[in-house]
Every structure is written in structure tokens, then in C-alpha cells.
Chain A
């Protein structure tokens, strides 16, 4: 009996395991990493989201009328319930871009660097993180209107972040961007090779940031309380992108998983989901646009580009598709470009802002940059600009908005959201309605509705935001979309 008790005792004592906590360690994942690596991941996720044409992820190229669908036409008909694109956008921007940027900054703030170049680069790195924060938040606001901002990314404080007023967010973004620009010092380096956009070139980031500021100012040009004129003028004074070599891009690699998402969606998927729309093809034909061959291929047996009716079923083989250039795995994703900047500048002049040059100069520069970017030559650009329908002074259109709008839209090809936002901002054209439009009156949506997930996970705040913006509807105009 005593022996038994002894054995029992030994066992019980032995069972107070000392290694218990170690057992619960995830031995395959790190607990500490450098902030720079998180920054890179945010860059990659952001660029992927911008480039994608996946119907679950990015449907702006549809809504901007650059392409339409073949068999499954729901997204072209503004169905964003079935595939929950707004929720996917929230997840990508907040979780995969902004959260990693936030973590990156927190780690870098606390890090003590040893190498002198790292110590010198720290301020630049933090400023660049801030610039991408502003870029991502602006995109979110321009998609939805009011969004979680001041309470966002604070999981320990709240899991139901309130939605902030979109105009207030813009105001704060301007201020954050100004601070970041002021912090940038191109005498020092930044991320080096961990920066997969500019390779750590701080001077380039400065141009990127100022171009972003110009873009934001133009977007809210009609909201005088945000002082867009002053912001735009300051940005130009400080220096915006003036050459395609300064474009903010991510150049992809040849091998999966680092190819352009377009390559995956259009080539690797083996699918035939998209064709050109009649809307853009007919427009380009009207302008005899030299970029038509550079944007779209010829359907088998066709002698000219043909576009399908937007939102209807279209046989893939009957219509034009995106060209092989765009389908290359290494094709770059564009965050901000010189032609975009030039069109903003043309617009700024028309609005009476002191950004230098004439509207026509910038208009011509934008068109030329676009043609050159897509592989056209200067002669083609010159000829195009000489056409009475294109030349700034003679081009058709009730006002500058229509002139700049249509050419900006043509130049923004492959940048769905920019094209779509140009449509919203400048209202240059009315396209025919698709047959099964999910909007109440059949017209093109002017915003995403809030994610379905938010209805259940953050319902009270969402309801408040919906009330504040005038209803969570695809046809509720954003605060800057007044005119």
C-alpha cells in the first residue's frame, strides 16, 4: 500500500510539467520581424489590388467601361452583393495594407538601428509609410465615403470602430501628408531594396507624395473648405512627377506568385471573361486614337477592334481583348503616373489655380505621355493632337470638363479606378445602361455600398454612417461629388 502511494506521489509531482508554456509555442512563425519587411508586404498588397481585374477583387475596369464580361455579366451590372467586393476591398486595404503599414511604423519607431545609414534613414522610412497610409485611405474614402478612421486599426480598444466624416478624413490626410513631405530628406536613404516601388529613392517619394497631394486636391476641388487650391499649388511648387521615369509603379517578376495579377486573371486562369466595350472602342474610333491597337487586340478574323455591349452576354471570339503587352507577367502596376498628373494640372489651370503652364500644355503633355507609355511614338501623338476633335481648342465638348474628362478617361485605361473616378468627377459622358443594372434607376453607381460583413459586425456604426452620407446606396454621391 505504501509503495503504491509512493508511486502515485511520484507521478503527481512529476506531472507538474515545467515545459507546458513552451509546448504552446508556435515554432514555425516568428514573434519579431523588422518593420521594413512589413512595409514591403503592404506595398505588394496595395499594388496587387490596384492591378487586379479579378471579379472578386477589382471591378473598376468594368464600371469604367474599359472592358465588359462575356458569360457571367453580374459585376458589369453592378452586382456587388454576390461576390462581396466591398468587403474584400475593406479587408485588403485595412488588414493587408494599412495594418501592416501601421505595424511597420510601430516596429521602426521602437527599433534601435546600429548602422549609421539606417539611423539616418529612419525618419524617411516613417515618412514613406505615412505617404502610403494616405494613399490607401484616400482610395477607401473615394470608394465608400465615410469610413472607419480615427478608431480604425485599434483592435485592443475597439472592435467596432466608428465611421468618420469623409471630409474630415480628407482634411487629416492633407495634414498627415504635409507632415510626411516635410520629414522627407533626400540627403539620406530610406528602405533600399525593401522598397519595391522606388528602391528607396527619397527624391522620388517626394514627387510621389506631392503628386498624391495634387490628386487629392483635384478630387476635392469643389470642396473649398479643404483649401484644395492651396494644396495643389504647394504640391506643384514642391515638385510633382514630370516624367514617366518618375511614375510610382511596382514592376512584377516573371514567376508566380509575384506576377502581375492581370496575368493570373487573364492568362494563367485560362478564362475568357472579358472583352472590350463598345463604349470605349466607339469612342476611340471617333477620335481615331492611335492607342486603340495598343490597348486592344483584334478578334479572330476581325479587321478592326470591336467592343461588346456593356453588361450583356458577349461571345469572347467576336470582340477585342486586352493586348498581349498587358498580359505579360512582368507588366507593372501603376500607383501614380505623369499623364495622370498632367491632366490634373490641366484641370487645375481651368479652375484658376496657379500651377504653371496652360491647360492646353498639360492636356497635350498628358495625352503625349500616355501614347508614349503604351508604345506609341511622338509622331503619332503629334498627329493625334492635331486632329480637330482632339486639339484642346477645337475638341467637341460643352466645357473643359468634358474635353479633359474624355481624354483623361482614355489615358487612364488599365487604371480602372482612376477612369471611374474621372467619370464621377467630370461627368463627361453618359453611357448606355446595362440590361440588369442593380442600381435603383439603372445608372452607373457613384460609390460602393458598405461591406455586408459590416452590417453584422459593426451595425450601429454603419447605420450612423449610412444616415450621415444620405443612405448606404450605390447612388449616394460622395461629399466631393457635388457637381
Chain B
């Protein structure tokens, strides 16, 4: 924090020291609390603009005309002191430290530094230490629970994308992700995941581009939450902004030791949290029910004479990927998939029918992350620099998964005199990822483990039959062969084959940098010019080895047994900014800060996707040219966006207690029709520091604030004019088609209007305080490709329509309940509750389908409800208006009735509230222990894993005892079988089967319903796939509450005391034991992490084949020289 102040102070006073002087004062400014020197304190000669700032160790030197006699020492958060000079030539000053975090200067929109107390809108900072101590592959994950109003949804995919939303979903179908800005440069955070991948189709989560940023380079982040805070950024910041300030070198005085070296190293181990992985039943093996042989073991095949003795032998139905088969019995010898594999020791043998010795959990490895970084910083009188390099190597829980990232960052600034300072910051990032995990339903190992699995499989067999075969002889020998005589994989490859042969690789090379010139023309006017670029080139390669099961592949998405595809994605964004800044005290009490600026942004995205067609000719040669059929034309994409913006802002401050801000920006966007392509957004904000007038001992600081803002948003690329799509030709006959989206020539910008009010207070010498905000945001005229009836000839049509309202409260509380010499306890709490409501959609349409999923599930925006209603089939209730009333069961078959319609609302993805609580304990000044609890209440998730897995008999509950105390999978035993009556009176006490809880309609003598209901007593069999799940249950059965309470982070840090380090080689050293996602204290979703999902983006609330979550434990070392 202080470093930033130091830099800012440097910036502000550059060029002011050219005044002739007659008198010199030196001294040291120290912290009254611990005696340490304070860098960056402004020392001003009263009545002049002459000033300086204290250096790194708190010393200063100032020369001025003798006629002046008073020096003013000020440091944000530490108040101001005035000292009469008199004849002194040495003045040492002690300053009282406050809670600087809540009152200090912060970086606001466009990199403008402002005193936090003057802001009329809500911002919240997180320091680099708070982000970095417990490291994550993607630093965005580290924000969870640390800022109110921010909802972070990490997902357990390897290198996967993270969803980050500030103050709720505002755009129905547009991007709702927060904007990231690093040192004034917007950073692209797009994710290239395909629309089908996001809706549970096969694919991979290629992660979020912002994860390229090295957390070790982050000095601090500041979150701008509302539209008033971000209005100067224009349309792109409608979803809030996360401003990242990176670490910089420090300018020092002549002759000082200028160089500093920091080394840090960390290792983290991730271990699967078993509460996020299925708990399997262990009593029954492969099969869908007792269908296969008519003999004593109906769950097994017996039609193959395997040993040649002329009699059919018992064998496992290997094609069946379910576990509703025969009960395990170690004395029962059966032929299993391994019996027909020559390389296996059980070749030709029958083996005991038992639960797999090693189950799915043994497939996974522990995950490791190694991170090493070195940073060198230094400076001279005229400038400073910092160079850092970080290498991160991560292996995932899946075999053959690895992510390597190299970050090189160089920053520097130099003062050229005459008020001109030039600075630059260049980052090179390179990320190489191998073996991402598949997501979704098909060809995903996890969807086998969670949905389609045989519990009799021993993972060790699969492993040895891939890993132990010599290179060149490796085959796809799977647990799921077509039959014992035909080893062709039926549905599932050997999972080791999948991991080692059908792996992905993707690499992203990125350069992010800027050059900036600051010219302080006079003491009240400065000009800033900045050019920045974010450029990256990435390639994503997918492979399907010869010998794998077929799947939809490549451009045509037609079935192929092998293949290769590559997706090149090139991104370039340039920004040119020029900004004039005018700061002056208009009168003694009235100060003005005015800004006029101009921004030119150009974004250019070029993509090309190419694939083989129909398979590979030469195995293991992964090249498009190695295609069996002539390749389809590659899919090219070329998108150019331009936005020109001009903006102005004015801030008036009156006597340091009343501030009024107004901003206006006009954007000209290339994606809108010419007549509506320019649009304005205004904002106005005011704050009043009432503690200036309400003097009370208990009140340290008090401020109220209020603001109003409008922001606009432009249209997606090329959504105005209609074009045709070009399918592959039929032989040499060309074909064109009308695309599925109807564009709209009349699009207008969409608009968000927001009002916000807040209060900040601090008490008891700033030991306790809070920041409370209320806001209401309405987003209207949304530009959306609304789903339309396909009877229109289209699936979507672009319209300007619809309104979403977000109302919410945010509360950030800090307190130091205990502060002793050798112990202190700090508490920080962040609470956010956002209430979202879709107010209108399009015409009289009251529902917008956002995504359609397997199982008949849709995620929707529904008028009158929060964004993200989950729709599907529901139970039928006795009281149709009351989902808590009894569920009606079909009296004929004992199963739950399913609603006639599939668009019943059965859940909503939007949570009720989020809360994060950090407790930090400091012992003996050198030990710090901290932990973060992260709580989400509410929100729903549909589990396709249970939708299928509960039907296939994988889970523990499916082997439990029934109400009679018998195994539920035992057959139903009727006292009098001739009647077929399955009600209680005719059930033998030894019977298996279950009774669904609910009621059945009472019929009169004629068989018509009387309107009365009675408790269901009909017993149904529970030994087959028709018991529960996708075939027989309503979707609503598999909608779960997504609430969780997690011990998100924990760390213990030891900072080596100065006494031990002495004046030697080391300047500082610290060691930390850290943990993340250590414990899911509470959740309602069985067998998975409620946060797990497919991808970041608007579509959440659906799980299929999700990865388990890891508990991560690590050790960090940080050394400074």
C-alpha cells in the first residue's frame, strides 16, 4: 500500500523541484507505532507548491526560500501534521498510523488515483499478500470470499475457467464477466469454449485467458463494482472492473543501494476431497438387471462356451455399463473382460465375482504445483525498474495432465526532466497445457465413473493393460469390450488409453504491454499518453487415436474412429489513450479535478479451425493432411471491433468533506448500425464525510455516498446484416443455407441504469468499521439473440428487448477484536445479497431458453424470476401450487407421476447470498495465522450424474436395506403370487423392493378418482435400471441445493524478525504453510462439489461428469536480498 503511495507521490511531484532554494531541512519520518520509516510521505512547504516525499527509509530533504516557515507532512490514512521550522535544520516526525486500507488512495477507472474518501461509489481492495499467500493456478480463484458483491465460481476442470460476476447478471445473453485491467491495460479474459461444450456436449474447458497473469506480480487489486465507478471505461465495463496494479521498482535517492532481489518458491499438493466423488455400492456388479441368463445367476451371461467343454459358461455382460447386475460372491467364478486378454494373467481363466480391488478413485493422482519466481527491482534518482520471471508447473489429478506457464515481466520508468516521465511495462506469458480433462456427457471418463460404470472393474487391470504394454504394441484394451470374443470397445475406451493417446495440447503465447508518457506541464495540468497492446496466439489441438471408440469429430461433427483437429485463435487488442488532467484549488475551500480523455480501441480476432475428415490414414500422425476423406474446408473467423471513446470527468471537493463527481463518455462502436452507433453514458456521484461535523469519540470516520450512472453496450460482431452459411458441398454441387440466427438492422445500444447509496463508518480509533452499499441496476433494451420457435425458420433472432433488474446489498466489515503487544486478531467479513429479476423479455415471450441440456433440462431467463431458472419435468403434487405438498404416485406401477410438461420450473441457479469471513491472528509480530470461510446459500444445480447414475445402480444407497430390513435389491416376494398384488398386505416380510414415498389417488368402485389420496404402499422392484433415475423419475428429483460452506483458505506465515536477519545479506524472509479448499464443511449436493461445472459463462447449474475437487496443501518460501 505504502509503495503505491510512494509511486503516486513521486508521480505528482515530478517536475516541481526546480525552484531556487535558500534553506534546507532534513529528517526522518517514522511510524509512531513501531518506529519504522515511512516512505512516500508528502512534505510540502506551506503556501507553495514546493514539496518532496520521503524515501524508502522515511528520510527526506527539502530546500525552500527562507521566507516560508511551515512544513506540512501528509500521508493518506495517517492524517496531516504541520510543523513550524524556525531555525531547525533537522526535523524528525512521528506519524500515527490508521487503517490505511479503508481511507487511502485507490486506483479508479482509467488508472486514475483517487483518495478513497472522496469517492461516491463502492470499491474494495485486496492486497497482493491476501491474493498470493495461498496461490491458485488462476489468481481469480483467490478473490472468492474476499470482496463483497463479487461471486466467483471456481470449477474443478484442470486449468479450467472461472466465472466471476460482480453484482449479479445484467445481460441476458451477453458477457457478464468482470473486466480485468492491468496497469491501465484491459486484459482479454475470453474463453474459447464451444457453445456445445457449455451445454454438456463433448469437449474441453480451455480455461480463462486472464489466468495468464502471474499472481506473484500483483501488488494489489481494486474492484470497481457499480456503473458509476466504471462509467469512464464505457460499455465494456458494464459488468464491473477488477483493476490490477503490478509490483514496480522504487526510485531511490542518489548513492543508495538500489537493487533488491526477491526469490520465492512454493510447492502445493492437491488431494481429492472424497466428499466430491461418488460413494459406490460394493455388493453388485455389471448389468442393467437380472436379464441375461435364465439360470441361477440371471445378472450374468451364460451363452458363451469359453473353456470349450461344450457347456455355456458364466460371463460378465461386458457391454453393459451399469451395476444392476449379479450380486458379488467370491466363490462364484466367472469369465470377465480380462479373461480374453492374452497379456493378462487371468487370460482364459474364470475369476471370483467380486467388487473391483481398486476403484475409480485410484485412477487419480495427487496434483502437484511447483512455482518458482525471481524478481529484481531497483532504481536510481531518475527511474526505477523491476524484472521478474516465474515458472509454474502443475500436474493434475488425471494421468498425463500437465500445465506449464512461464511469465516474464519487465517494467520501468524514467524521468526525463521538464516534467516528463516515461514508463513501460511488458509481460510475456507462455502457457502450455497437455491433457485437459474432457467435460460433459460423451467420451468423458468422469461421466463413466459417475453415470455408467461397472463396480466389478479393477482399475489396476486397466492400468496394466495399457501402461505395461510396450510402446508400439499398445492397444485399446478396455473393460467394455463388445464381447469376450470381440475386444472392440463398446462405449468406453480404456481410460489410460484415453489419457495417453487421445490427449489435448494447447499453447498460448501472449504479450501484454504498454508505454506511457506523463507530462506534468504545470502544477495543475498534466497530460498522459498511453499505448497498449494485448496480443496472443493460441492453438488447441485434439487427438483421437486409431483404435478408439468413434465419436463426433471435427468440422462436420460426424462420427469418426480417429482424427485430429486444430483451432488457431489469434487475438489482438490495442488501446490508445490520451488524457489531460487538471487539478487546482479554485478557492481556499473548493478543489477541482477535471479530466478530458480520448480512447481508441481496436480488437482483431482471427480464428481457423481445421480437422481431418473420416479418420486418420497413418496412426499416430496428427496432421490435417493425414485425413482418410478429403478434408472439409477449414472454418475461418475474422472479427474486428472498434470503439472510439471521448470522455470527461469533473470532481469538486469542498473543504475535504463534500465531493461531487460527474462523468460523461461518448462511444462510437463499429458493431451498431451507423445511425445508432454513437451513444453517451453519464454518471454523477456525491459523497459527504459526516464525521467532519459529527465529532464524537467513538466515531473515527463516517461517510455517506450516493450515485447514479448509465452505461451502454454495443452489439456482437456482425449481428446487423444477414449472410448465408456454407455447408460442405455435395460432391461438386455447391450448397448454401440460411443461418440459424436472424440478424437485425435496427439494433440500438443496450443500456444499464444504476443507482447506488452507501455508508462507510469506522469506530474506536478505526479498530472497527464497515462499508455498506445498496444498489439497484436495470439493464434495458438488451441486445439478444432471443430463441424463437423454429417454425419461424430460425432458432434465434437478434432483438433489442428485455430488462433485468438487480437489487442488492453489500456489507464489508472489519474489526480488530483484540490487540495486544504480542497478539492481535483481525476479522474481515464480506456479505453480498443480490436479488435478480427478469422483468421482461421479448414481445409476449415470458421465457428465454439460454441453454438446452441432456435430460430435457433447460436453463432459462423467465419473466418474474431470477436469471437462470432450471426447467424440466417435475413431480405431480396433490396441491399443484405447493411443491411441498405430497407427491402423487401412479397407482398402477408405484412410480412417481411426471408432470405432463417439461417446462416446469424446478430450480434456479442464482444463489441467495454469498459471504466470506477471514480471521487473521498475529502472534509475536512474526507469526500470522489466517483462515477464510466462504459460504454460498442457495442456488440450484441439476445433476446429470445422478440422473443417470441413480438409474445404473452405482451409488451406495442402491444396495441399502429397505423398510423391511432386507436388501432392497432382493426380489419382491409375494405371499400370494397369483394375485400380483404389490400392496403391503401381500408382501412377504423377506421381500426386497422399495416403496416410493407419496400418495396414490383413491378410486371409487367404477375406477374413477374420488379426489382423495392415500399413502402409497405399492412395492416396486429395486434390482434394475428402471427403479429410479432418468427412465422413470422427474427431472426435479435431481435438482439439488448448491449451497456450501467451505474452509476456502488457511495459512500460517512466519516472517523472520529483523534481529535475526541483522544487517547482512538477507533483507527479509518468510515461510508459509498454506491450504486451499481444505474442507467442504457443508453441502447438499451428494458426491460432487456444487461449484464444479462445465465452463465459465452464463450457463451454470448443470453437472455432467464433473471432476472431483482437490484439497490443496502447500509450502511457500519467500526470500528478499
Contacts and interface: CB of A to CB of B under 8 A. Distances in A.
Interface in A138-166: 147-148, 152-155, 158-161
A148 B792 CA distance: 9
Given A82-B854, A453-B789, A456-B860, A4 B521 contact: yes
A159 B723 CA distance: 20
B669 to A, nearest CB: 8
A429 interface: no
18 contacts: A4-B580, A26-B721, A28-B636, A29-B724, A31-B722, A33-B736, A38-B737, A103-B738, A158-B792, A159-B788, A159-B842, A196-B730, A253-B731, A255-B614, A257-B613, A268-B558, A272-B319, A456-B849
B646 A15 contact: yes
B736 A41 contact: yes
A41 B668 contact: no
A313 B288 contact: yes
A258 B792 contact: no
B274 to A, nearest CB: 30
Contacts of A313: 288-289, 291, 320
A435 B718 CA distance: 51
A452 B613 contact: no
Contacts of A71: 288, 319-321
Interface in A240-283: 253, 255-258, 264-265, 268-272
B1030 interface: yes
Given A90-B791, A270-B550, A272-B490, A33 B1031 contact: no
B62 to A, nearest CB: 29
A260 to B, nearest CB: 11
Interface stretch (B90-98, B649-657, B670-678, B966-974): B670-678
Contact of A159 (B490, B527, B786): B786
A43 B194 CA distance: 28
Interface string B602-638: 0000000000011000000000000001101000111
B783 to A, nearest CB: 13
Nearest to A39: B735
B793 A94 contact: yes
Contacts of B901: 455
B720 interface: yes
A386 interface: no
Contact of A26 (B303, B614, B718, B728): B718
Given A27-B638, A29-B726, A453 B490 contact: no
B730 A74 contact: no
A31 B736 CA distance: 11
B646 A100 contact: no
Contact of A270 (B321, B549, B856): B549
A96 B636 contact: no
Interface of B: 288-289, 291-292, 301, 303, 317, 319-321, 482-483, 485-486, 488-491, 521, 525, 527, 549-550, 556, 558-561, 578, 580, 596, 598, 600, 613-614, 629-630, 632, 636-638, 640-642, 644, 646, 668, 670-671, 674, 677, 717-718, 720-728, 730-731, 733-738, 740, 742, 786-795, 797, 842-847, 849, 852, 854-856, 858, 860, 871, 873, 900-903, 1026, 1030-1032
A316 B852 CA distance: 31
A95 B726 CA distance: 15
B789 A457 contact: yes
B642 A40 contact: no
A37 B735 contact: yes
A456 B794 contact: no
Given A148-B791, A318-B303, 14 more contacts: A24-B670, A25-B721, A28-B638, A30-B723, A32-B724, A38-B737, A44-B727, A103-B738, A258-B731, A313-B289, A316-B482, A453-B849, A455-B902, A457-B789
A384 B792 CA distance: 49
Given A29-B725, A70-B319, A271 B550 contact: yes
Contact of A155 (B289, B670, B792): B792
A194 B732 CA distance: 10
A20 B642 contact: yes
Contacts of A453: 787, 789-790, 849, 852
A21 B677 CA distance: 10
A468 interface: no
A102 interface: yes
A15 B855 contact: no
B730 A40 contact: yes
B558 A161 contact: no
A223 interface: no
A472 B899 CA distance: 13
Contacts of B734: 37, 40
The 6 closest A-B pairs by CB, nearest first: A99-B793, A148-B791, A270-B550, A29-B723, A257-B556, A255-B629
A30 B721 CA distance: 11
Interface in A83-102: 83-84, 87, 90-91, 94-96, 98-100, 102
A454 interface: yes
A7 to B, nearest CB: 8
A interface: dominant SS: loop
Contact of A257 (B642, B728, B854, B858): B728
Contact of B856 (A70, A81, A272): A81
A218 B671 CA distance: 54
Contacts of A103: 738
A309 to B, nearest CB: 10
A383 interface: no
Main secondary structure of the interface of B (DSSP, over half): loop
B792 A159 contact: yes
A23 B790 contact: no
B422 to A, nearest CB: 17
A162 to B, nearest CB: 10
B732 to A, nearest CB: 8
Nearest to B632: A257
Nearest to B893: A436
Contacts of A393: none
Contacts of B561: 268, 270
A457 B292 contact: no
Contacts of A360: none
Given A33-B736, A148-B791, A8 B858 contact: no
Contacts of A37: 734-736
B558 A91 contact: no
A21 B614 contact: no
Given A20-B642, A41-B735, A30 B613 contact: no
A42 to B, nearest CB: 8
Contacts of B787: 453, 457
A304 interface: no
B789 A160 contact: yes
B9 to A, nearest CB: 25
Given A4-B580, A37-B734, A82-B1030, A268 B550 contact: yes
Contacts of A255: 613-614, 629-630
A38 B738 contact: yes
Nearest to A96: B737
A316 B485 CA distance: 13
A175 interface: no
Interface in A422-455: 435-436, 451-455
Contact of B847 (A87, A155, A316, A457): A457
A210 to B, nearest CB: 26
Nearest to B743: A26
Contact of B794 (A40, A99, A300): A99
A458 B791 contact: yes
Given A38-B737, A457-B789, A25 B644 contact: no
Contacts of A94: 790-793
B792 A15 contact: no
A451 B788 CA distance: 12
Contact of A457 (B580, B636, B788): B788
A147 B845 CA distance: 19
Contact of B301 (A41, A315, A459): A315
Nearest to B1032: A436
Contacts of B490: 271-272
A179 interface: no
